Structure 1
Amino acid sequence: MISNILIPTDYSEASFNALETAIGIAKRNNASLQLLHIDESAFIPEESYTIKNASQIGHAIADNIKQRHGVETTVIFKDGYIGPTIARMAFDLKPDLIVMGAYGASGHRDFFIGSNSYYTIKHASCPVLIVPEGKRWLDFHQVLFPLRPTLGAFKKYQFISDLVIQIYPGCNFNLMGISIDRKEHDVKQVTEIANELKASWKEAIQYEVSYSYSKNIAEEVLDKADKSKADLVVVSSTVDVANKQFFIGPFSQRIINHARVPVLCIFKSAEY
């Protein structure tokens, strides 16, 4: 159950867009929000800036959320490097989910997401939902969920699917089986995982299963996301060959960097 959501914000358009998504998730789960604003000007003054009246702005936003949406919202202010501070606060506060913009006014862009977003994905102790700017993402109807048969795969995918359903209960899943070597065993395992997930879902979830046999997994996933009009892509360590905690391999990196829709990044294996 999602009960506490952490939202790093620099008061940019990108972070406000992510905040709108977080509010929707919080309302559906009766969860609380924690707005985190970080001032790194004392650490890298030549590349950053300080927002005047940051405290007043943050508390005004929190009060507005409480009044308009009835969502309990607190504000936290910290000094430090942005990425490491987000990761440290996630460890201390133990949120169930971090929601943040792909990049913001204080972020440095690496490919198509900011370095702070990337650092958070790699080091945070909980799942991270990256929300691109330019469009409001208040609900999710079509989820692209890549599946690779691995040891203990069902338990991992059970956790992921439960989390996605908490984010938006009415979503439909497109379960995309990945088999680079075209092994019949892989296809069979993916089908079994899909059927087990279907049996475990209490809600009337719709799902379909497709398969990818390409060695370029990232391009296949991105192409499938476009063609299926997915509005959420799930990326976990199982997308890449090495299945390690906090491991972001080349396929995952490319999907995260180039997806045109929100990406739910799940690399923490402890919950599995």
Structure 2
Amino acid sequence: MKTILVPTDLSPMTTYALDVAVGLARTHQAEIVLLHTVLYQLVAQPAGDYTPEFSAIMAENYEMAYQQAQQDLQALASNPRYAGVVIKTKLGSNLDGLIRCINEQPADLIVLASQGASGLMEWLEGSNAERIVRHAHCPVLVVKGPIEHFQPKNIVCGIDLDEKLKERHMYPFQLTDQGLQQFVYVLTPHDVHEPEGIRQWMDELALAKGIAHYQLSIWRAPAVAEGILDFADQQQADLIVLYTHGRTGLSHWIQGSVAEDVLNHAKVPVLVMRA
């Protein structure tokens, strides 16, 4: 891992993600890029009101906001507790689009901060959060709150039966000394798969990935997101790992509200990998 991208709205929550990113950067000798998109205010006006003077005022306001954001980003990057880690800053415009700004920045990992059940931070609410996870070009780590030392040891990985999961994946950081060992498949009332078939598929996945020892739990729940969250709580997990399946959408078991529910309601960080 060489580069960690931390998108920020410059709210106090930014430090949750940045603290984790700095810890990972120190371990992997990586650099961090702080990304902020500056809001360009588009004001609805009658066509005749768009005078050169009005346009000049809008441009001046944007320039002031841009300069302030530069100062705020630099102040954040210069925090003494981040000493020894290379933290670069990058500014974009909301006119460029958040997803485009993120995907134009080469990175091995994206770290985001989330408030949890009450919703993601203001600029990352609702569908924006899901879009970033779905369309990001690299793994995304969603941090739920302040973490003194991010060193997950009790990791739960949610699986479906997609064959792409059998491919070997490069994780952005080490997932314990033994790697992933605890897997959960959520069996909902409408799921027609038999437990024995699920276990056989998991055996094939373990063989394909070179996993010598693992534990598979088949967890019955009314909905997949609810099952993942309940199982993670029962196991006292300190990290949940999920998978996406390309730019066209998330896997069938983590579509729509499922992804949003897991990301918003999990009490622990969530790492979303691209399958």
Q: TM-score band (shorter)?
A: 0.7 to 0.9
Conserved? CA contact 1:25–1:168, under 8 Å: no
Q: Aligned to 1:90, which of 95, 99, 102? A: 102
- Assess, with a 3 A threshold, how the Cα gap between structure 1 residues 199 and 127 changes in structure 2: closer, same or farther: closer
Residue identity matched to 1:173: Q
Deviation digits for residues 14-61 of structure 1 (CA, Å, limit 9, x no counterpart): 21111111111112221110001111142479xxx9597322232233
2-side partners of 1:187 and 1:17: how far apart?
A: 37
| Aligned length, in residue pairs | 242
3-state DSSP of counterpart to 1:163: coil
TM-score by length of 2: 0.74
Counterpart mapping for 1:98-177 below 5 A: 98-102=110-114, 106-107=122-123, 109-110=125-126, 115-133=127-145, 136=148, 138-155=150-167, 158-159=168-169, 162-163=170-171, 166-170=173-177, 173-177=181-185
3-state DSSP of counterpart to 1:211: strand
Counterpart mapping for 1:221-240 below 5 A: 221-237=228-244
Are 1:22 and 2:21 matched, yes or no?
A: yes
Counterpart mapping for 1:1-272 below 5 A: 2-43=1-42, 50=65, 53-64=68-79, 68-80=82-94, 85-102=97-114, 106-107=122-123, 109-110=125-126, 115-133=127-145, 136=148, 138-155=150-167, 158-159=168-169, 162-163=170-171, 166-170=173-177, 173-178=181-186, 180-183=191-194, 184-199=196-211, 207-214=214-221, 216-237=223-244, 245-248=247-250, 249-250=255-256, 251-266=258-273, 268=274, 272=275
Conserved? CA contact 1:142–1:172, under 8 Å: no
Unaligned segments of structure 1, at least 5 residues: 201-205, 238-242
Residue identity matched to 1:61: L
Residue identity matched to 1:55: Q
2-side partners of 1:229 and 1:51: how far apart?
A: 43
2-side partners of 1:75 and 1:218: how far apart?
A: 35
Conserved? CA contact 1:182–1:213, under 8 Å: no
- Assess, with a 3 A threshold, how the Cα gap between structure 1 residues 252 and 119 changes in structure 2: closer, same or farther: closer
Conserved? CA contact 1:102–1:117, under 8 Å: no
2-side partners of 1:227 and 1:106: how far apart?
A: 30
Unaligned segments of structure 2, at least 5 residues: 45-63
If you compute each CA radius of gyration, which structure gives the higher value, 1 or 2?
Answer: 2
- Assess, with a 3 A threshold, how the Cα gap between structure 1 residues 172 and 51 changes in structure 2: closer, same or farther: same
- Assess, with a 3 A threshold, how the Cα gap between structure 1 residues 126 and 44 changes in structure 2: closer, same or farther: farther
- Assess, with a 3 A threshold, how the Cα gap between structure 1 residues 101 and 68 changes in structure 2: closer, same or farther: closer
Identity of aligned residues (%): 24
Comparing 16-25 with 183-192, which one deviates more in the overlay?
183-192
Deviation digits for residues 223-252 of structure 1 (CA, Å, limit 9, x no counterpart): 011011111111223xxxxx5534130433
- Assess, with a 3 A threshold, how the Cα gap between structure 1 residues 227 and 195 changes in structure 2: closer, same or farther: farther
TM-score by length of 1: 0.75
Deviation digits for residues 55-113 of structure 1 (CA, Å, limit 9, x no counterpart): 22322332346x844222110112215xx733212322221111111256642643xxx
1:221 Cα offset (Å): 0.7
1-side partners of 2:131 and 2:214: how far apart?
A: 32
Comparing 190-199 with 15-24, which one deviates more in the overlay?
190-199
Comparing 127-136 with 9-18, which one deviates more in the overlay?
127-136
1:132 Cα offset (Å): 1.5
3-state DSSP of counterpart to 2:181: strand
Cα RMSD (Å): 3.1
